[in-house]
Amino acid sequence: MPVYVFREGNSNIFKIGLTRISDVSPRRRQLNSGSSAGLREFEVVHRNVERHGGKEFFEMMSDNHMREFLRLAQPMFQRNYSAINSVGAFEKLECEAGFRQAAQSDRELLSELQNVETRLREIEDEAVFLRFQKDMIECEIKARIGNSQGIDGIATWESSVRKNFCLELFQERDPEMYQRVLRRFSAPDVSAWRELEPQLYHEVTNRYPKLDKAAWMAQDKAHYTQIQKTHYTPSVSRKFILLA
């Protein structure tokens, strides 16, 4: 299972992944559909950055930085590949009775594993603190920005406003129109006691139908849009972006 490395244009952004076939060209063409800069093969065998919804992209300081990383990582890739193949041969076999005698190599593997687990716990503890510290500092910068667009050269908000149709507002402001729409586009309320008391359920839902907005939009979108312009609540979402 080859490990491939693609480069995004001439940048220091690299995509690292696995493929089951030796020819990595089909995978590169597939990924290129979402890359404006174009991906080209760098190596077949860090810092993680998000690209096109994927998180297997890594930013390196230079070509040599990536090549040095691969030089150090390739023995581990090969060791991992060999181990996976070895384990695959036994995964579905029934265990034989008895334990094997521990060899020196087994004790060395155990010691290596324990050291890795200890280091992982240390890193995870540090990561928890760093994430807390990161959130705290970002909040302080956000507080400095306040209601402005941002701080020049430091950070900004990327905000968008979405208009959500408010059924309660429509019912309150225009009850007559609400009833007219309700008679055309209604659907039964879903309740927890539907199966336990079906007779009472149908009696209640027949008396108090719920507006089916999906059916209304599908059958009379122009009318729905017209009503939506009047009876909506704004929803603001903001994305914090560092400029430095």
Of 87, 116, 135, which marks where a domain is finished?
A: 87
pLDDT value of residue 15: 74
Cα separation values, 61 from 11, 58, 65, 66, Å: 10, 10, 6, 8
Paired with 58 in beta bridges are 14, 48
Domain match, 135 and 209 both: no
Closest CA to 194 of 202, 206, 186, 185: 202
Residue 54 inside a domain? The answer is yes
Residue 152 inside a domain? The answer is no
Domain region containing 120: 105-145
Domain match, 109 and 83 both: no
Domain match, 192 and 228 both: yes
Q: Using CA of residue 96, residue 97, residue 101, residue 104, what is the dihedral sign?
A: positive
Predicted confidence (pLDDT) per residue in 110-155, tens digit: 999 999 999 999 999 898 999 999 999 999 998 999 888 889 999 9
Domain match, 117 and 83 both: no
Domain match, 70 and 124 both: no
Mean pLDDT value across residues 215-223: 87
Domain match, 68 and 42 both: yes
pLDDT value of residue 45: 47
Predicted confidence (pLDDT) per residue in 9-45, tens digit: 777 777 777 666 666 677 667 666 655 556 665 555 4
The C-alpha torsion from 103 through 107 and 113 to 117, rounded to 10°, is: 150
Mean pLDDT value across residues 203-228: 80
Regarding pTM above 0.75, the answer is: no
Residue 92 inside a domain? The answer is no
Number of domains into which the chain is organized: 3
Predicted confidence (pLDDT) per residue in 168-180, tens digit: 888 888 888 888 8
Residue 93 inside a domain? The answer is no
